[in-house]
Amino acid sequence: MSAARRCSPPRALAGLFVWRLKNTGIRQIPCQFVQLCHVANDRLITFQYFNFLKRMYVTQCNKDLSQRAKPKSDSVASPFRELQQLDQEKKVIHKIRPISPLHQPLSEASISSELREMKSGAQTEGSVAAIRTEAKGDRQWKEMKLRLDDLPGILARLSKIKLTALVVSTASAGFAMAPVPFDLTCFLLASLGTGLASCAANSINQFFEVPFDSNMNRTKNRPLVRGQISPLLAVCFAASCGVPGIALLTLGVNPLTGALGAFNIFLYTCCYTPMKRMSIANTWVGAVVGAIPPVMGWTAATGSLDAGALLLGGILYSWQFPHFNALSWGLREDYSRGGYCMMSVTHPGLCRRVALRHCLALIGLSTVAPVLDITTWTFPIISLPINLYISYLAFRFYRDADRSSSRKLFFCSLWHLPMLLLVMFTCKKSFLEKEDKGDLLGEGHGRVMEIRLP
Protein backbone atom coordinates (compact mmCIF):
# COMPACT_ATOMS: atom_id res chain seq x y z
CA MET A 1 0.00 0.00 0.00
CA SER A 2 2.86 2.35 0.79
CA ALA A 3 4.41 1.75 -2.67
CA ALA A 4 1.05 2.25 -4.33
CA ARG A 5 0.56 5.45 -2.40
CA ARG A 6 4.00 6.72 -3.35
CA CYS A 7 3.45 6.10 -7.11
CA SER A 8 0.88 8.51 -8.36
CA PRO A 9 -1.26 7.64 -11.38
CA PRO A 10 0.57 10.01 -13.79
CA ARG A 11 3.96 8.57 -12.94
CA ALA A 12 2.67 5.06 -13.34
CA LEU A 13 1.28 6.03 -16.72
CA ALA A 14 4.62 7.48 -17.83
CA GLY A 15 6.46 4.34 -16.78
CA LEU A 16 3.94 2.24 -18.61
CA PHE A 17 4.44 4.38 -21.76
CA VAL A 18 8.19 3.96 -21.63
CA TRP A 19 7.87 0.21 -21.21
CA ARG A 20 5.51 0.07 -24.17
CA LEU A 21 7.95 2.03 -26.32
CA LYS A 22 10.71 -0.43 -25.62
CA ASN A 23 8.62 -3.47 -26.39
CA THR A 24 6.91 -2.14 -29.55
CA GLY A 25 8.52 -1.38 -32.92
CA ILE A 26 8.94 1.97 -34.54
CA ARG A 27 6.25 1.20 -37.10
CA GLN A 28 3.58 0.87 -34.38
CA ILE A 29 4.60 4.04 -32.62
CA PRO A 30 2.40 6.54 -34.54
CA CYS A 31 -0.77 4.46 -33.96
CA GLN A 32 0.02 3.98 -30.31
CA PHE A 33 0.81 7.72 -30.02
CA VAL A 34 -2.66 8.54 -31.31
CA GLN A 35 -4.23 6.06 -28.88
CA LEU A 36 -2.14 7.58 -26.12
CA CYS A 37 -3.49 10.99 -26.97
CA HIS A 38 -7.02 9.66 -26.64
CA VAL A 39 -6.06 8.15 -23.27
CA ALA A 40 -4.53 11.42 -22.24
CA ASN A 41 -7.72 13.24 -23.08
CA ASP A 42 -9.69 10.76 -21.04
CA ARG A 43 -7.35 10.90 -18.05
CA LEU A 44 -6.61 14.70 -18.28
CA ILE A 45 -2.80 14.60 -18.65
CA THR A 46 -1.31 18.02 -18.01
CA PHE A 47 0.68 19.97 -20.64
CA GLN A 48 3.98 19.48 -18.80
CA TYR A 49 3.61 15.69 -18.93
CA PHE A 50 2.75 15.86 -22.59
CA ASN A 51 6.00 17.70 -23.34
CA PHE A 52 7.89 15.12 -21.33
CA LEU A 53 6.37 12.32 -23.36
CA LYS A 54 7.21 14.13 -26.60
CA ARG A 55 10.85 14.44 -25.59
CA MET A 56 10.97 10.79 -24.73
CA TYR A 57 9.56 9.92 -28.13
CA VAL A 58 12.12 12.03 -29.95
CA THR A 59 15.04 10.54 -28.06
CA GLN A 60 13.85 7.00 -28.72
CA CYS A 61 13.45 7.53 -32.48
CA ASN A 62 16.63 9.59 -33.01
CA LYS A 63 19.32 8.34 -30.71
CA ASP A 64 22.04 10.24 -32.60
CA LEU A 65 20.70 13.59 -31.54
CA SER A 66 22.79 15.52 -29.10
CA GLN A 67 22.17 18.89 -27.61
CA ARG A 68 24.70 21.60 -28.38
CA ALA A 69 25.34 24.07 -25.67
CA LYS A 70 25.67 27.70 -26.67
CA PRO A 71 28.96 29.31 -25.70
CA LYS A 72 28.51 31.42 -22.69
CA SER A 73 29.13 35.06 -23.08
CA ASP A 74 31.92 36.69 -21.19
CA SER A 75 30.89 37.49 -17.78
CA VAL A 76 30.35 41.17 -17.25
CA ALA A 77 32.89 42.60 -14.99
CA SER A 78 31.48 43.68 -11.75
CA PRO A 79 31.55 47.36 -10.87
CA PHE A 80 33.74 46.55 -7.91
CA ARG A 81 36.50 45.27 -10.23
CA GLU A 82 36.18 48.37 -12.45
CA LEU A 83 36.58 50.54 -9.44
CA GLN A 84 39.65 48.54 -8.44
CA GLN A 85 41.18 49.01 -11.94
CA LEU A 86 40.48 52.75 -11.85
CA ASP A 87 42.14 52.94 -8.48
CA GLN A 88 45.20 51.15 -9.87
CA GLU A 89 45.36 53.51 -12.88
CA LYS A 90 45.09 56.47 -10.61
CA LYS A 91 47.87 55.06 -8.52
CA VAL A 92 50.04 54.60 -11.64
CA ILE A 93 49.31 58.15 -12.77
CA HIS A 94 50.26 59.48 -9.38
CA LYS A 95 53.49 57.54 -9.57
CA ILE A 96 54.57 59.27 -12.86
CA ARG A 97 57.35 61.67 -12.20
CA PRO A 98 57.04 65.28 -13.32
CA ILE A 99 59.10 66.56 -16.29
CA SER A 100 62.55 67.51 -15.23
CA PRO A 101 63.46 71.19 -15.66
CA LEU A 102 66.66 70.14 -17.50
CA HIS A 103 64.70 69.79 -20.80
CA GLN A 104 64.63 73.16 -22.54
CA PRO A 105 61.48 74.38 -24.28
CA LEU A 106 61.17 74.48 -28.07
CA SER A 107 63.49 76.92 -29.78
CA GLU A 108 62.28 79.95 -31.69
CA ALA A 109 63.51 78.39 -34.96
CA SER A 110 61.31 75.33 -34.50
CA ILE A 111 58.35 77.52 -33.58
CA SER A 112 58.89 79.70 -36.65
CA SER A 113 59.24 76.61 -38.87
CA GLU A 114 55.97 75.24 -37.50
CA LEU A 115 54.29 78.58 -38.16
CA ARG A 116 55.65 78.60 -41.70
CA GLU A 117 54.38 75.08 -42.28
CA MET A 118 50.96 76.12 -40.98
CA LYS A 119 50.95 79.18 -43.25
CA SER A 120 52.09 77.15 -46.26
CA GLY A 121 49.40 74.59 -45.55
CA ALA A 122 46.81 77.33 -45.35
CA GLN A 123 48.11 78.85 -48.59
CA THR A 124 48.00 75.51 -50.40
CA GLU A 125 44.47 74.93 -49.17
CA GLY A 126 43.54 78.41 -50.31
CA SER A 127 45.16 77.88 -53.71
CA VAL A 128 43.38 74.55 -54.16
CA ALA A 129 40.10 76.20 -53.26
CA ALA A 130 40.82 79.04 -55.68
CA ILE A 131 41.67 76.60 -58.47
CA ARG A 132 38.44 74.72 -57.82
CA THR A 133 36.43 77.93 -57.94
CA GLU A 134 38.21 78.98 -61.14
CA ALA A 135 37.53 75.59 -62.72
CA LYS A 136 33.87 75.89 -61.78
CA GLY A 137 33.83 79.40 -63.18
CA ASP A 138 35.43 78.27 -66.44
CA ARG A 139 32.78 75.61 -66.90
CA GLN A 140 30.05 78.21 -66.54
CA TRP A 141 28.96 80.78 -69.07
CA LYS A 142 30.30 84.24 -68.43
CA GLU A 143 29.13 87.57 -69.71
CA MET A 144 32.03 89.36 -71.39
CA LYS A 145 31.94 93.03 -70.47
CA LEU A 146 33.61 95.40 -72.88
CA ARG A 147 35.59 98.22 -71.34
CA LEU A 148 36.44 101.37 -73.23
CA ASP A 149 40.05 101.10 -72.08
CA ASP A 150 40.41 97.65 -73.67
CA LEU A 151 38.68 98.59 -76.93
CA PRO A 152 41.75 100.01 -78.77
CA GLY A 153 43.79 96.87 -78.06
CA ILE A 154 40.93 94.60 -79.11
CA LEU A 155 40.42 96.49 -82.37
CA ALA A 156 44.17 96.43 -83.02
CA ARG A 157 44.17 92.63 -82.72
CA LEU A 158 41.03 92.42 -84.84
CA SER A 159 42.70 94.39 -87.63
CA LYS A 160 46.02 92.46 -87.30
CA ILE A 161 47.96 95.63 -86.66
CA LYS A 162 51.37 94.07 -87.38
CA LEU A 163 50.28 92.76 -90.76
CA THR A 164 48.68 96.11 -91.51
CA ALA A 165 51.95 97.86 -90.68
CA LEU A 166 53.78 95.57 -93.13
CA VAL A 167 51.23 96.35 -95.85
CA VAL A 168 51.57 100.11 -95.29
CA SER A 169 55.37 99.86 -95.35
CA THR A 170 55.38 98.03 -98.70
CA ALA A 171 52.95 100.58 -100.14
CA SER A 172 55.24 103.34 -98.90
CA ALA A 173 58.19 101.62 -100.57
CA GLY A 174 56.29 101.56 -103.87
CA PHE A 175 55.48 105.26 -103.52
CA ALA A 176 59.13 106.07 -102.76
CA MET A 177 60.43 104.07 -105.72
CA ALA A 178 58.23 105.90 -108.22
CA PRO A 179 60.22 108.13 -110.66
CA VAL A 180 58.35 111.30 -109.74
CA PRO A 181 58.93 114.14 -107.26
CA PHE A 182 57.94 113.23 -103.72
CA ASP A 183 54.53 114.66 -102.64
CA LEU A 184 54.08 114.47 -98.86
CA THR A 185 50.31 115.06 -98.86
CA CYS A 186 49.67 112.37 -101.44
CA PHE A 187 52.00 110.01 -99.56
CA LEU A 188 50.11 110.45 -96.27
CA LEU A 189 46.71 110.03 -97.92
CA ALA A 190 47.86 106.90 -99.75
CA SER A 191 49.37 105.38 -96.59
CA LEU A 192 46.26 106.14 -94.51
CA GLY A 193 43.87 104.78 -97.12
CA THR A 194 45.93 101.62 -97.61
CA GLY A 195 46.05 101.06 -93.86
CA LEU A 196 42.28 101.45 -93.48
CA ALA A 197 41.66 99.06 -96.36
CA SER A 198 43.97 96.49 -94.76
CA CYS A 199 42.19 96.83 -91.40
CA ALA A 200 38.83 96.24 -93.08
CA ALA A 201 40.06 93.16 -94.95
CA ASN A 202 41.62 91.61 -91.85
CA SER A 203 38.50 92.22 -89.75
CA ILE A 204 36.23 90.58 -92.30
CA ASN A 205 38.66 87.67 -92.53
CA GLN A 206 38.46 87.07 -88.79
CA PHE A 207 34.66 87.39 -88.90
CA PHE A 208 34.44 84.54 -91.44
CA GLU A 209 36.97 82.26 -89.71
CA VAL A 210 35.68 82.26 -86.12
CA PRO A 211 34.61 78.56 -86.03
CA PHE A 212 37.91 77.48 -87.60
CA ASP A 213 40.17 79.76 -85.56
CA SER A 214 38.76 78.28 -82.35
CA ASN A 215 40.37 74.92 -83.22
CA MET A 216 43.88 76.35 -83.68
CA ASN A 217 46.31 77.20 -80.91
CA ARG A 218 47.68 80.08 -82.98
CA THR A 219 44.32 81.84 -83.41
CA LYS A 220 42.19 80.69 -80.47
CA ASN A 221 42.83 83.93 -78.54
CA ARG A 222 41.51 86.27 -81.21
CA PRO A 223 38.85 88.75 -80.04
CA LEU A 224 35.92 87.21 -81.90
CA VAL A 225 36.86 83.68 -80.85
CA ARG A 226 37.03 84.65 -77.18
CA GLY A 227 33.86 86.72 -77.42
CA GLN A 228 35.50 89.98 -76.39
CA ILE A 229 33.47 91.81 -79.02
CA SER A 230 30.31 90.90 -80.87
CA PRO A 231 30.30 89.97 -84.56
CA LEU A 232 28.10 92.98 -85.24
CA LEU A 233 30.71 95.30 -83.77
CA ALA A 234 33.43 93.63 -85.86
CA VAL A 235 31.43 94.10 -89.07
CA CYS A 236 30.69 97.71 -88.17
CA PHE A 237 34.39 98.33 -87.53
CA ALA A 238 35.30 96.76 -90.89
CA ALA A 239 32.75 98.93 -92.68
CA SER A 240 33.93 102.06 -90.86
CA CYS A 241 37.48 101.32 -92.04
CA GLY A 242 36.82 100.03 -95.54
CA VAL A 243 34.42 102.69 -96.81
CA PRO A 244 36.50 105.73 -95.72
CA GLY A 245 39.70 104.01 -96.84
CA ILE A 246 38.49 103.36 -100.38
CA ALA A 247 36.92 106.81 -100.56
CA LEU A 248 40.17 108.38 -99.44
CA LEU A 249 42.19 106.48 -102.04
CA THR A 250 39.71 107.26 -104.81
CA LEU A 251 39.04 110.92 -104.11
CA GLY A 252 42.22 111.96 -102.34
CA VAL A 253 44.78 110.07 -104.43
CA ASN A 254 43.43 108.80 -107.76
CA PRO A 255 40.69 106.41 -108.96
CA LEU A 256 43.20 103.75 -110.07
CA THR A 257 44.61 103.39 -106.56
CA GLY A 258 41.09 103.29 -105.09
CA ALA A 259 40.09 100.54 -107.52
CA LEU A 260 43.17 98.51 -106.60
CA GLY A 261 42.34 98.89 -102.91
CA ALA A 262 38.74 97.74 -103.39
CA PHE A 263 39.87 94.82 -105.56
CA ASN A 264 42.38 93.78 -102.91
CA ILE A 265 39.70 93.74 -100.17
CA PHE A 266 37.46 91.63 -102.39
CA LEU A 267 40.29 89.26 -103.32
CA TYR A 268 41.34 88.74 -99.68
CA THR A 269 37.88 88.33 -98.13
CA CYS A 270 35.85 86.65 -100.89
CA CYS A 271 38.50 84.59 -102.70
CA TYR A 272 41.47 83.87 -100.46
CA THR A 273 39.53 83.28 -97.21
CA PRO A 274 37.15 80.57 -98.52
CA MET A 275 39.85 78.99 -100.70
CA LYS A 276 41.93 78.23 -97.58
CA ARG A 277 39.58 75.30 -96.88
CA MET A 278 39.18 74.19 -100.50
CA SER A 279 42.47 74.15 -102.42
CA ILE A 280 46.19 74.80 -102.03
CA ALA A 281 45.80 77.48 -104.73
CA ASN A 282 44.95 79.83 -101.87
CA THR A 283 48.69 80.39 -101.35
CA TRP A 284 49.09 81.84 -104.86
CA VAL A 285 45.97 84.00 -104.44
CA GLY A 286 47.29 85.25 -101.11
CA ALA A 287 50.61 86.10 -102.75
CA VAL A 288 48.75 88.28 -105.27
CA VAL A 289 47.00 90.02 -102.36
CA GLY A 290 50.36 90.79 -100.77
CA ALA A 291 51.83 91.98 -104.06
CA ILE A 292 49.18 94.66 -104.70
CA PRO A 293 50.12 97.21 -101.93
CA PRO A 294 53.49 98.25 -103.50
CA VAL A 295 51.68 98.57 -106.82
CA MET A 296 49.14 100.85 -105.09
CA GLY A 297 52.00 102.99 -103.77
CA TRP A 298 53.47 103.29 -107.28
CA THR A 299 50.12 104.20 -108.84
CA ALA A 300 49.45 106.69 -106.06
CA ALA A 301 52.63 108.54 -107.04
CA THR A 302 52.48 108.19 -110.83
CA GLY A 303 48.80 107.57 -111.58
CA SER A 304 49.63 104.75 -114.01
CA LEU A 305 50.71 101.12 -114.09
CA ASP A 306 54.29 100.96 -115.30
CA ALA A 307 56.93 98.28 -115.51
CA GLY A 308 58.38 99.45 -112.21
CA ALA A 309 55.06 98.79 -110.44
CA LEU A 310 54.94 95.27 -111.84
CA LEU A 311 58.56 94.67 -110.79
CA LEU A 312 57.85 95.73 -107.21
CA GLY A 313 54.75 93.54 -107.20
CA GLY A 314 56.80 90.62 -108.51
CA ILE A 315 59.39 91.00 -105.74
CA LEU A 316 56.67 90.98 -103.08
CA TYR A 317 54.93 88.08 -104.82
CA SER A 318 58.05 85.88 -104.79
CA TRP A 319 59.10 86.88 -101.27
CA GLN A 320 55.82 85.63 -99.76
CA PHE A 321 56.37 81.99 -100.73
CA PRO A 322 59.49 81.33 -98.62
CA HIS A 323 58.01 83.48 -95.86
CA PHE A 324 54.61 81.79 -95.66
CA ASN A 325 55.71 78.24 -96.56
CA ALA A 326 58.33 78.29 -93.81
CA LEU A 327 55.74 79.62 -91.37
CA SER A 328 53.10 77.07 -92.31
CA TRP A 329 55.58 74.20 -91.99
CA GLY A 330 55.73 74.68 -88.23
CA LEU A 331 51.94 75.07 -88.02
CA ARG A 332 50.92 71.94 -89.91
CA GLU A 333 49.15 70.42 -86.91
CA ASP A 334 47.22 73.63 -86.32
CA TYR A 335 46.19 73.99 -89.95
CA SER A 336 45.05 70.38 -90.18
CA ARG A 337 43.11 70.77 -86.92
CA GLY A 338 41.45 73.93 -88.23
CA GLY A 339 40.50 72.30 -91.53
CA TYR A 340 42.70 74.47 -93.78
CA CYS A 341 44.09 73.09 -97.03
CA MET A 342 47.73 74.17 -97.08
CA MET A 343 50.71 72.96 -99.10
CA SER A 344 52.62 72.12 -95.94
CA VAL A 345 49.82 69.72 -94.92
CA THR A 346 48.72 68.12 -98.17
CA HIS A 347 51.79 68.59 -100.42
CA PRO A 348 54.90 68.95 -98.23
CA GLY A 349 57.33 68.31 -101.08
CA LEU A 350 55.73 70.97 -103.25
CA CYS A 351 55.80 73.37 -100.33
CA ARG A 352 59.60 73.12 -100.07
CA ARG A 353 60.19 73.24 -103.83
CA VAL A 354 58.06 76.37 -104.31
CA ALA A 355 59.91 78.15 -101.52
CA LEU A 356 63.28 77.37 -103.14
CA ARG A 357 62.12 78.41 -106.61
CA HIS A 358 60.90 81.81 -105.53
CA CYS A 359 64.05 82.49 -103.52
CA LEU A 360 66.02 81.96 -106.74
CA ALA A 361 63.47 84.14 -108.55
CA LEU A 362 64.37 87.03 -106.25
CA ILE A 363 67.89 87.00 -107.70
CA GLY A 364 66.51 87.27 -111.23
CA LEU A 365 64.06 90.05 -110.33
CA SER A 366 66.83 92.03 -108.69
CA THR A 367 68.81 91.78 -111.92
CA VAL A 368 65.84 93.03 -113.99
CA ALA A 369 65.56 96.28 -111.97
CA PRO A 370 68.48 98.12 -113.68
CA VAL A 371 67.37 96.79 -117.05
CA LEU A 372 64.02 98.56 -116.60
CA ASP A 373 65.90 101.72 -115.62
CA ILE A 374 64.53 101.67 -112.05
CA THR A 375 67.81 101.23 -110.20
CA THR A 376 71.48 101.34 -111.00
CA TRP A 377 73.57 98.26 -111.67
CA THR A 378 74.90 98.37 -108.15
CA PHE A 379 71.56 97.07 -106.84
CA PRO A 380 71.85 93.49 -108.15
CA ILE A 381 75.45 93.36 -106.95
CA ILE A 382 74.72 94.62 -103.42
CA SER A 383 71.54 92.55 -103.08
CA LEU A 384 73.21 89.36 -104.30
CA PRO A 385 74.63 88.28 -100.87
CA ILE A 386 71.29 88.53 -99.04
CA ASN A 387 69.48 86.84 -101.93
CA LEU A 388 72.04 84.04 -101.95
CA TYR A 389 71.74 83.61 -98.19
CA ILE A 390 67.95 83.24 -98.22
CA SER A 391 68.31 80.87 -101.20
CA TYR A 392 70.79 78.79 -99.18
CA LEU A 393 68.35 78.59 -96.26
CA ALA A 394 65.58 77.63 -98.67
CA PHE A 395 67.80 74.85 -100.04
CA ARG A 396 68.41 73.56 -96.50
CA PHE A 397 64.68 73.66 -95.88
CA TYR A 398 64.13 71.69 -99.09
CA ARG A 399 66.80 69.15 -98.18
CA ASP A 400 66.20 68.68 -94.44
CA ALA A 401 62.44 69.29 -94.25
CA ASP A 402 62.51 69.83 -90.50
CA ARG A 403 61.23 72.44 -88.11
CA SER A 404 64.65 73.95 -87.44
CA SER A 405 65.38 74.77 -91.09
CA SER A 406 61.88 76.20 -91.59
CA ARG A 407 62.27 78.48 -88.58
CA LYS A 408 65.61 79.79 -89.86
CA LEU A 409 64.11 80.52 -93.26
CA PHE A 410 61.12 82.27 -91.71
CA PHE A 411 63.19 84.54 -89.48
CA CYS A 412 65.51 85.32 -92.37
CA SER A 413 62.54 86.43 -94.46
CA LEU A 414 61.54 88.91 -91.76
CA TRP A 415 64.69 90.99 -92.20
CA HIS A 416 65.34 90.10 -95.86
CA LEU A 417 62.42 92.13 -97.29
CA PRO A 418 63.11 95.45 -95.53
CA MET A 419 66.81 95.04 -96.28
CA LEU A 420 66.13 94.38 -99.97
CA LEU A 421 63.74 97.35 -100.28
CA LEU A 422 66.19 99.62 -98.48
CA VAL A 423 69.04 98.63 -100.82
CA MET A 424 66.71 99.12 -103.77
CA PHE A 425 65.78 102.60 -102.57
CA THR A 426 69.42 103.59 -102.09
CA CYS A 427 70.27 102.37 -105.62
CA LYS A 428 67.26 104.10 -107.19
CA LYS A 429 67.88 106.32 -110.16
CA SER A 430 67.06 109.92 -109.37
CA PHE A 431 64.37 111.80 -111.18
CA LEU A 432 66.86 114.42 -112.40
CA GLU A 433 69.03 111.81 -114.05
CA LYS A 434 66.02 110.43 -115.88
CA GLU A 435 64.99 113.95 -116.99
CA ASP A 436 68.49 114.70 -118.25
CA LYS A 437 68.58 111.39 -120.06
CA GLY A 438 65.19 112.11 -121.57
CA ASP A 439 66.32 115.58 -122.69
CA LEU A 440 69.47 114.15 -124.22
CA LEU A 441 67.43 111.56 -126.08
CA GLY A 442 65.05 114.27 -127.24
CA GLU A 443 67.90 116.51 -128.44
CA GLY A 444 69.59 113.61 -130.25
CA HIS A 445 66.35 112.68 -131.93
CA GLY A 446 65.89 116.34 -133.08
CA ARG A 447 69.41 116.48 -134.47
CA VAL A 448 68.84 113.29 -136.40
CA MET A 449 65.68 114.75 -137.85
CA GLU A 450 67.53 117.97 -138.78
CA ILE A 451 70.27 116.02 -140.49
CA ARG A 452 67.75 114.03 -142.47
CA LEU A 453 65.98 117.15 -143.67
CA PRO A 454 67.36 118.59 -146.94
Q: pLDDT tens-digit profile of 299-339?
A: 999 999 999 999 999 999 999 999 999 999 988 888 888 88
Do the Cβ atoms of 408 and 357 come closer than 8 Å?
no
Mean pLDDT computed over 226-244: 92
Percentage of residues of the chain with pLDDT beyond 90: 49
Residue 429 vs residue 129, higher pLDDT: 429
Distance CA(125)–CA(132), nearest Å, equals 11
Distance CA(275)–CA(273), nearest Å, equals 6
Number of Cβ within a 10 Å radius of residue 8? 10
pLDDT at 4: 43
Percentage of residues of the chain with pLDDT beyond 70: 63
Distance CA(256)–CA(79), nearest Å, equals 115
Distance CA(321)–CA(344), nearest Å, equals 12
Query: Helix, strand, or coil here: 359?
Result: helix
Bridge-partner residues for 375, per DSSP? 428
Q: What is the mean pLDDT of the chain?
A: 78
Q: pLDDT tens-digit profile of 193-228?
A: 999 999 999 999 999 988 888 888 888 889 998 888
DSSP state of 375: B
Number of Cβ within a 10 Å radius of residue 418? 13
Residue 160, phi-psi category: left (phi > 0), alpha (psi -120 to 50), beta (remainder):
left
- Note if the pTM is more than 0.75: no
Number of Cβ within a 10 Å radius of residue 232? 9
pLDDT at 270: 92
